[in-house]
A = this chain, B = another copy of it.
Amino acid sequence: MNPRKIVVVGGNAAGAAAAAKAARTDPSATVTLLEAGNFISTGTCELPYVLSGEISDYKKIVFFDEESFRIQKGVKVLTNSPVISLNRRKKEITFVREQKEEILGYDKLILSTGAKSRIPDIPEIIAETDEGRELQNFLPFKTVSNLLRVQEEVYSAKHKRVCIIGSGFIGLELCEAFKKLNFEIMLIEKMDQIFPSGETEAGKIFNELLREMNIRIFTNASKYKFRIKDSRITNLIIDGYDFEVDFVVNATGFIPQNRIALEAGLETGESGALRVNSKLQTSDPNIYAAGDNTENINLITRRPFYFPLATIAQKEGHIAGENATGGNNFMRPVIPAITLKCFDHYLGTVGLNTETAKKHFRNIKSVQTTHRNLVPVMPGSRGQWGKIIYAENGNILGASFIGGKEVSGLADIVSTAIRFSIPVTKLDETDYNYTPALSPFINILSILGRKAKS
């Protein structure tokens, strides 16, 4: 028997995990990893911390290069090798390397082509793009290459004025990073609140925080314009103001990057992400998908949704890599869980937000409270805010917490409660620990649990 030929397209969290796992599961297989860009196996969530300088060098978040990945993982890696087409009948892909087209056959293919920045609906930008020009200082923020471009602008900017479009997770993290770099920041949000994917109350807390940091906030920003000169944005015109800007960072979210798969006729869901079964097979059983180009099943709604997150991508990579080499692993439905640091405020979210919950469940309820993360007499004691959304039967649908670092543990407890069907009314039955330096006398989850009971 010939050795199994596994090809993985896309070399970030999912792709690197898939290739490494495939090579480990079937050491006799030939595993090839193709990456369109310069880097494989990079830390995406860490990008804001390299920008701010807390992580001193981008090289620290590039965990492998072609050579080290080959030696340590037994995978042949080709960077700068964009795949341009997929022939499912012949089981071949065509990619470009050093300006030449090459063809590679596969027994099993794993598509982990990831996501790309959504382009906001700004006529000037669309017009430029349509005319084939690239706006030199309108920058996405998703890859190490993107980061290096932003850093170029940071180091060359004379006036240090940045416009950030989008106040979601990345937008808020970027606010902190650019503030550390002493930038003047204009933050544009088309929705009526900061942090629109979260609870209204959380949006208000972040709004206040950003104002305290002297960040100019424009919510409900549907009508704004950029002045463009020589393919560079020079000014933001909004609300009757005219601000000079050095560059613009696009943090309006991500969409799946699935051109090759679509052209080859693979099925996608509403989000445009690839539809997969629990083994992560696409509609072609010889093709697996993993990572930010792939749909997930939401454990709470039991429906497909799009959730581009590094930890999920890596899990999927693992599973796809194992299954592509004859394994029989499966991906569990996912509970969305994202945390965030913005200045000294930490946010932990898990499950659905109120708006999404309303779409899927009737008569949703919620409890919320403010508390202290340590007893008031302890130095460092500070406020916490917490909200839990639940169904009529007490099943928890989602939660948000803002406070100190303890929000991480709180969100994880709620994630566990959702996963194992612990109703909100039982959250006060856990014996939570107490010691003055670590925890409050009564845990906020006890208070919320009791509130839900009464």
Chain A contacts to B: CB under 8 angstroms = 43, 45-46, 49, 54-55, 60-61, 309-312, 314, 332, 334-341, 346, 348, 350, 375, 377-379, 405-413, 415-417, 419-420, 422, 426, 429-439, 441-443
Q: How far is the CA of A61 from the CA of B441 in the complex (A)?
A: 13
Instruction: Decide if B437 touches A49 in the complex (CB within 8 Å).
Output: yes
Instruction: Decide if B340 touches A443 in the complex (CB within 8 Å).
Output: no
Instruction: Decide if B441 touches A311 in the complex (CB within 8 Å).
Output: yes
A405-B438, A441-B310 known; A339+B433 contact, CB < 8 A:
yes
Q: How far is the CA of A53 from the CA of B206 in the complex (A)?
A: 34
A61-B377, A341-B438 known; A408+B422 contact, CB < 8 A:
no
Q: What are the 4 A-B residue pairs with the smallest beta carbon separation, nearest first?
A: A409-B409, A341-B437, A339-B435, A339-B433
Residues in B whose Cβ lies below 8 Å from that of A45: 434-436
Residues in B whose Cβ lies below 8 Å from that of A348: 433, 438
- Contact partner of A433 among B415, B430, B438, CB < 8 A? B415
Q: How far is the CA of A368 from the CA of B379 in the complex (A)?
A: 33
Residues in B whose Cβ lies below 8 Å from that of A46: 375, 377-378, 436
- Contact partner of A434 among B61, B310, B405, B442, CB < 8 A? B310
Instruction: Decide if A434 touches B378 in the complex (CB within 8 Å).
Output: no
For A312, A338, A415, the residue with the greatest tally of chain B CB atoms inside 10 Å of its CB is: A415
Instruction: Decide if A377 touches B55 in the complex (CB within 8 Å).
Output: yes
- Contact partner of A406 among B338, B379, B409, CB < 8 A? B409
Residues in B whose Cβ lies below 8 Å from that of A350: 431, 433
Residues in B whose Cβ lies below 8 Å from that of A434: 45, 309-311, 339
Instruction: Decide if A412 touches B438 in the complex (CB within 8 Å).
Output: no
For A350, A420, A430, A435, the residue with the greatest tally of chain B CB atoms inside 10 Å of its CB is: A435
Instruction: Decide if A441 touches B314 in the complex (CB within 8 Å).
Output: yes
Instruction: Decide if B49 touches A378 in the complex (CB within 8 Å).
Output: yes
Residues in B whose Cβ lies below 8 Å from that of A312: 431
CB distance from A262 to the nearest CB of B (A): 28
- Contact partner of A420 among B411, B415, B420, B432, CB < 8 A? B420
Residues in B whose Cβ lies below 8 Å from that of A422: 416, 420
Q: How far is the CA of A419 from the CA of B443 in the complex (A)?
A: 16
- Contact partner of A419 among B338, B379, B429, CB < 8 A? B429
Instruction: Decide if B431 touches A415 in the complex (CB within 8 Å).
Output: yes
Q: How far is the CA of A435 from the CA of B335 in the complex (A)?
A: 16
A431-B334, A433-B337, A433-B350 known; A43+B406 contact, CB < 8 A:
no
Q: How far is the CA of A309 from the CA of B441 in the complex (A)?
A: 11
**22 A-B interface contacts by CB (under 8 A):** A43-B436, A54-B378, A310-B434, A310-B441, A334-B431, A348-B438, A406-B408, A407-B438, A408-B433, A408-B438, A409-B410, A409-B412, A409-B413, A412-B430, A412-B433, A412-B443, A413-B416, A415-B430, A415-B431, A416-B422, A416-B430, A419-B430
Q: How far is the CA of A406 from the CA of B433 in the complex (A)?
A: 12
- Contact partner of A337 among B309, B334, B431, CB < 8 A? B431
Q: How far is the CA of A214 from the CA of B97 in the complex (A)?
A: 61
CB distance from A306 to the nearest CB of B (A): 16
Nearest-CB residue, chain B, relative to A410: B409
Q: How far is the CA of A335 from the CA of B407 in the complex (A)?
A: 23
Instruction: Decide if A335 touches B438 in the complex (CB within 8 Å).
Output: no
Instruction: Decide if A337 touches B432 in the complex (CB within 8 Å).
Output: yes
A405-B406, A408-B406, A426-B420 known; A433+B43 contact, CB < 8 A:
no
CB distance from A406 to the nearest CB of B (A): 7
Q: How far is the CA of A442 from the CA of B426 in the complex (A)?
A: 27
Residues in B whose Cβ lies below 8 Å from that of A405: 405-406, 438
Residues in B whose Cβ lies below 8 Å from that of A341: 435, 437-438
Residues in B whose Cβ lies below 8 Å from that of A314: 441
Instruction: Decide if B406 touches A432 in the complex (CB within 8 Å).
Output: no
